[in-house]
Structure 1
Amino acid sequence: MKTEFIRQISQGISLEKCNELYVIRVQHALGSALVALQGAQLLSWQPAAAQQDVLWLSEIEPFQKGNAIRGGVPICYPWFGSAKSPSHGTARIREWSLSHYEMDEEYAYLEFSLYDEQNIIEAKIEMAFNQECHLIFTHYAEQEAQAALHSYFNVADIQQTEVKGLPHECFDSLTKQFVQVPSPRKIHENVDCIYSAEQSINCIEDAANQRTIQIEHIDASDIVLWNPWHKATSSMSETGYQTMLCVETARINRKLQQGESFEVIFKLV
């Protein structure tokens, strides 16, 4: 994606702009990352040894202010789904603040905070990058909330991809029923399922890229598996579904109380 350099924040960390949105770029010997200030949304993470980005980002994303970004790791908060408007909450279309950053030889660290109109903190996300990507989300508002780290993973061919470590039962959000499903799971159609996070580690076997993405969910209650298949989806090309798969780390059925956190760690193995 094409960006315009704005200023250097520190060694290896810069502020840039992509169309209407400001982004933070991290360049480190161990890899690179890109985060939009809108939504504190991680858009890209590529370890130095990786030939492709671990995360998927729509090639037709317009990067317009106030529009949800299709790809990376959107933060769905303080609700999940479309029961209220906007779908998946307001956090992903609001501006966050870069509240802290660090970098040394072993890792890069960014912290983003979301404040309300009274300048009271509502939520925080911490991002640490080395050979793995570690995201920690913390809920600070008084009212309980749902949240999901809606990770879009980059695969070469969805029809040669499978997810290991998922349970055999899930809630199918399309039929509104609990269903029995195979595990490992391959994707051959529109899938939108919520699993219990009883197993904390999943692996995406990306056969066409000859790589495995390991995803560790920490203090999550749910794992969401999503691929829209041929269904028309905003800011996604007709063929976009062929190279992406969402495995989301979530607190949907067990809502976050004030001060609670949950985490995801993903890496190539």
Structure 2
Amino acid sequence: MQDLDALKPFSIPGQLAFRTGPGGLPYADIANAGGTASICLQGAHLTNFQPRAQRAPVVWLSQAARFAPGKSIRGGVPVCWPWFGAHPTEPGFPAHGFARTVPWAVVDSGAAQGVTQLALRLEPSAATRAQWPHATPVELRISVSDTLGMALITRNEAGVALPLSEALHTYFHVGDIGEVVLQGLDGCAYLDKVENFARKQHSGALRFAGETDRVYVNTVADCLIDDARLGRRIRVRKQGSACTVVWTPWAEKAAAMGDYTAEGWRQMLCVESANAADNALVLQPGESHTLEVSYGAEAL
């Protein structure tokens, strides 16, 4: 993990600074005229994003989140890579891959036209190579203004075709999960993980009244989170992603996880841009793939 002295060349006065934060982990803080964001360098894990014009964050972080070396953080934008969900053959490997719990290195930063940018690269180790012994450099490029942009870029330098599934597992801040409406998935097929991956067809807008865990396949559409309580619409745009995962744990499951406050689950909804299930990828030798998202909020 880079120390703060090694990070100084990437600082941008008045826009980008580095610090030691919760759990003794290094963080990058971005602040400009458009918005603010924080990124934990363990996992390249964005923990906060709030446009200046919004009275509430767009990205949700649990008030009971745990911060420790090698542990995932509840909330923000975990990077699920190089597999999504359970590993296909090794049940002892971590769910959603190892990228979200290992060090990433800052490799570039910049600022232009009101946008502050930060680029991070996953640092392979003996532990990661034991789970993924392939030469696949992966970077996350983050841009912050009044919108948040993220691009997850994987290159296959291994010389053989490789399977890849991935997601930006974004937790969005909402006024109340029982009141929001999610649009953009009308007519899509989905796998219902609450019902043992039963394949179903969705119709209309999506409302929430209980645990929901669905992989919507073959969809590249924008998603819209309409939130009357906060008076806003969060727009989720994506490129290079062919499925969308929608998740809310609801009360019982959240209580069992141990890193939610009693009612914290009511203020979050995960809408994840992914390539998984029917839409998992195969990267050919020399091929590069980019999963790119943009998040912004507008008045209803």
Query: Smaller-chain TM-score range?
Result: over 0.9
How far did 1:54 drift?
0.4
2:250 and 2:266 in contact (8 A); partners too: yes
Judging by fraction of residues, say which structure has more helix. 2
2:32 and 2:114 in contact (8 A); partners too: no
Residue of structure 1 aligned with 2:78, choices 74, 80, 83: 74
How many residue pairs end up in the alignment? Answer: 265
Equivalent residue, structure 1, for 2:182: 163
Q: Bigger shift: 29-38 or 111-120?
A: 111-120
Residue of structure 2 aligned with 1:46, choices 50, 74, 77: 50
How far did 1:256 drift?
5.2
Residue-by-residue CA offset, 1:24-83 (whole Å, 9 max, x unaligned): 001111111100101101111111111111000010112111110111110000111124
Higher gyration radius (CA): 2
1:197/1:46 CA distance change after superposition, 3 Å: farther
- Between the aligned partners of 2:262 and 2:94, the Cα distance in structure 1 is 24
How far did 1:115 drift?
2.9
1:56 and 1:152 in contact (8 A); partners too: yes
Judging by fraction of residues, say which structure has more strand. 1
- Between the aligned partners of 2:190 and 2:31, the Cα distance in structure 1 is 39
Residue of structure 2 aligned with 1:139, choices 150, 154, 167: 154
Matches within 5 A, 1:19-30: 19-20=22-23, 21-30=25-34
Q: Bigger shift: 149-158 or 127-136?
A: 127-136
How far did 1:129 drift?
1.3
- The alignment partner of 1:160 has SS state of coil
- Between the aligned partners of 2:247 and 2:193, the Cα distance in structure 1 is 10
Matched, 1:255 2:281: yes
1:147/1:256 CA distance change after superposition, 3 Å: farther
1:198/1:209 CA distance change after superposition, 3 Å: same
Matches within 5 A, 1:183-198: 183-198=204-219
Q: Bigger shift: 100-109 or 63-72?
A: 100-109
User: How high is the TM-score relative to the length of structure 2?
Assistant: 0.83
Structure 1 gap segments, 5+ residues each: none
Structure 2 gap segments, 5+ residues each: 130-134
How far did 1:199 drift?
4.3
How far did 1:198 drift?
2.3
Residue of structure 2 aligned with 1:14, choices 12, 17, 20: 17
Matches within 5 A, 1:109-120: 109-117=117-125
How far did 1:266 drift?
1.0
- Between the aligned partners of 2:234 and 2:52, the Cα distance in structure 1 is 15
Residue of structure 1 aligned with 2:192, choices 172, 175, 189: 172
Residue of structure 1 aligned with 2:293, choices 260, 264, 267: 264
Counterpart amino acid of 1:137?
Answer: L
Q: Bigger shift: 166-175 or 84-93?
A: 166-175
Q: Bigger shift: 251-260 or 204-213?
A: 251-260
* C-alpha RMSD over aligned residues: 2.0
Percent of matched pairs sharing the same residue? 27
